[in-house]
């Protein structure tokens, strides 16, 4: 009870006058709006998860590799979105070159418990997406 | 010669261990659980230390968890050692626990990533059940997380005392680099002594977190301050989780 009284007294002593509060309110609203706009812009720049579904076109782009088919690409996509997010968010696929992606997936496959065939499927999916984006 | 033989076994073990390593996953939050489950066959040891500070008292809680990925969607957690240290009571062994997490949907490709969590902990004169609904959405470099928890505990001789807790937790984490994330965690909990609404205690905690990972290990730290003014609850909590795959 005493604690509550002390807090109430303190709150009253520090309370701004109504006129001062009226002047401060529009200024605070302005700052809040600017902050919200800045936050929205920065958030929207980082909101993209680019993991497109597998298409026939992607499989065709890998036609030179006979071991890559639609099923393998689908498996690669599933593994990519399940295994990689256990440690980090997914970087946009255009952030790295095809050569870089192969090295990145190879280096992280062990950490993500990817078997060699699964690792190949993830690489095949990423390369197929990049190939069809050209 | 003897010294060479003495070191041969540890060297062989240390060189084989990294080859057997499989990382179960990084925790971006310490008071919230995330929807993705560990890959099948992965094993990880997580050490969690929580320091709680209240008016004139300090408590520490230590938990060891062995996290095992069973399938792509099912994860098992075993807590063999739950310890605590109370400024007025010294060390106390709080028993052990087992948890299961089942993942229903993915936070990247599905509208919301959902997982169900169930933990049962048993100690002398203590039984506790904790159920969670975990919802997560990954948006680019952002991870948005929500946990709804229902906790029920029975304690004392004959497990006659009953308490309940409802908790909602929100978290947001931003990945600055693949190794470093920063974020915020928010906890809103209702404690019901004897499951009675008239004795309900409400607590709100909020604070920042930081997570760093490298190779097969990670460390995540959260500092929470109590926003409400509940007397017997901690004013400040600091939780650290250190995880290592092996």
Q: What's the pLDDT at A62?
A: 66
Judged by CB atoms closer than 8 Å, whether chains meet at B39 and A86 is answered as yes
| Same domain, yes or no: A40 and A61 | no
- CB-nearest to A113 from B22, B106, B139 is B22
Q: A60 with A115, same domain?
A: yes
**Same domain for A60 and A82?**
yes
Question: Does residue A110 form part of some domain?
Answer: yes
Does one domain contain both A76 and A106?
yes
Mean pLDDT calculated for residue range B153-173: 91
pLDDT for B89 equals 84
Q: Does A111 share its domain with A69?
A: yes
Domain enclosing residue A10, as ranges: 2-45
Q: Looking at CA atoms only, how far is residue A53 from chain B in angstroms?
A: 9
pLDDT at A23: 66
**Judgement on whether residues A38 and A63 belong to the same structural domain of the protein:** no
Structure tokens that stand for B77 in this block:
């957690």
Same domain, A101 and A72: yes
Cβ contact A104:A126 at 8 Å: no
Distances (CA, A) of B97 to A51, A119, B31, B126: 37, 35, 17, 11
> In this structure, is residue A51 part of a structural domain?
no
| For residues B78-104, average pLDDT | 92
Give yes or no for A81 touching B (CB within 8 A). yes
Provide the whole-model pTM. Answer: 0.81
A71 in reach of chain B (CB within 8 A): no
Spans of all domains in chain B: 2-245
The structure tokens listed for B220 are 């995540």
Mean pLDDT of B178-195: 94
Q: Count how many domains chain A has.
A: 2
What's the Cα-to-Cα distance from A119 to each of A28, A84, B107, B141, B148, rounded to whole Å? 53, 11, 21, 23, 35
pLDDT band at A131 (very low <50, low <70, confident <90, very high): confident
Q: What is the CATH number of domain B2-245?
A: 2.40.160.40
- Grade residue B13 by pLDDT with cuts at 50, 70 and 90: very low
**Cβ–Cβ below 8 Å for A85 and B24:** no
- CA of residue A99 relative to chain centroid, distance: 22
pLDDT reported for residue A3: 39
Mean pLDDT of B137-160: 92
Looking at residue A40, its pLDDT comes to: 65
Contacts of B227 (CB under 8 A, 6+ apart): B204, B205, B206
% of chain A exceeding 70 in pLDDT = 67
Average pLDDT, chain B: 89
CB-based contact B161:B131 (threshold 8 Å) = no
Residues A129 and A100 in one domain: yes
Q: Compute the nearest-CA separation of A125 from chain B (Å).
A: 15
CB contact under 8 A, B38 and A83: no
Q: What is the pLDDT of residue B11?
A: 46
In a domain, A50, yes or no: no
pLDDT band at B15 (very low <50, low <70, confident <90, very high): very low
pLDDT digits (tens, 9 = 90+) for B19-69: 444 566 899 999 999 999 999 989 999 999 999 999 989 999 999 999 999
One domain, residues A61 and A113: yes
Residue in the block written with tokens 């106390």: B92
pLDDT band at B7 (very low <50, low <70, confident <90, very high): very low
Q: Do B36 and A82 touch (CB under 8 A)?
A: yes
Burial tier of B179 (Cβ tally within 10 Å: 0-12, 13-18, 19+): middle
- Secondary structure (3-state) at B33: coil
A65, A129: one domain: yes
Are A65 and A25 members of one domain? no
Tokens 């626990």 found at: B97
Structural domain includes residue A112: yes
Q: Are residues A104 and A74 in the same domain?
A: yes
């Amino acid at each position: 009870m005493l604690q509550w009284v002390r807090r109430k007294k303190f709150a009253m002593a520090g309370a701004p006058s109504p006129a001062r509060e009226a002047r401060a309110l529009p200024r605070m609203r302005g700052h809040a709006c600017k902050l919200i706009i800045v936050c929205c812009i920065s958030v929207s720049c980082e909101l993209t998860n680019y993991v497109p579904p597998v298409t026939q076109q992607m499989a065709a782009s890998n036609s030179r590799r006979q071991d890559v088919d639609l099923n393998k690409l689908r498996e690669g996509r599933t593994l990519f979105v399940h295994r990689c997010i256990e440690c980090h968010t997914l970087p946009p696929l255009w952030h790295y070159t095809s050569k870089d992606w192969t090295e990145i997936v190879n280096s992280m496959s062990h950490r993500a418990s990817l078997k060699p065939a699964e690792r190949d499927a993830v690489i095949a999916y990423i390369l197929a997406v990049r190939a069809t984006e050209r | 010669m003897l010294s060479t033989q003495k070191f041969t076994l540890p060297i062989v073990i240390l060189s084989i261990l990294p080859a057997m390593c499989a990382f179960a996953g990084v925790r971006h939050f310490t008071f919230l659980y995330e929807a993705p489950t560990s890959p099948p066959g992965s094993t990880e040891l997580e050490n969690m230390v929580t320091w709680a500070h209240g008016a004139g008292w300090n408590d520490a809680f230590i938990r060891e968890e062995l996290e095992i990925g069973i399938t792509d969607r099912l994860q098992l957690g075993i807590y063999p050692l739950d310890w605590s240290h109370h400024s007025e009571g010294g060390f106390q062994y709080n028993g052990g626990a087992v948890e299961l997490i089942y993942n229903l949907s993915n936070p990247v490709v599905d509208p919301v990533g959902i997982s169900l969590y169930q933990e049962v902990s048993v100690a002398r004169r203590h039984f506790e059940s904790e159920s969670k609904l975990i919802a997560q959405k990954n948006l680019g470099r952002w991870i948005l997380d929500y946990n709804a928890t229902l906790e029920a505990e029975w304690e004392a001789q004959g497990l006659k005392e009953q308490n309940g807790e409802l908790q909602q937790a929100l978290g947001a984490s931003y990945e600055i680099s693949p190794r470093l994330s920063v974020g915020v965690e928010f906890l809103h909990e209702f404690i019901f002594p004897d499951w009675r609404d008239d004795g309900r205690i409400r607590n709100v905690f909020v604070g920042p977190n930081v997570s760093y990972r490298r190779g097969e290990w990670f460390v995540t730290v959260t500092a929470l301050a109590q926003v409400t003014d509940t007397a017997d609850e901690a004013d400040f909590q600091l939780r650290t989780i250190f995880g290592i795959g092996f």
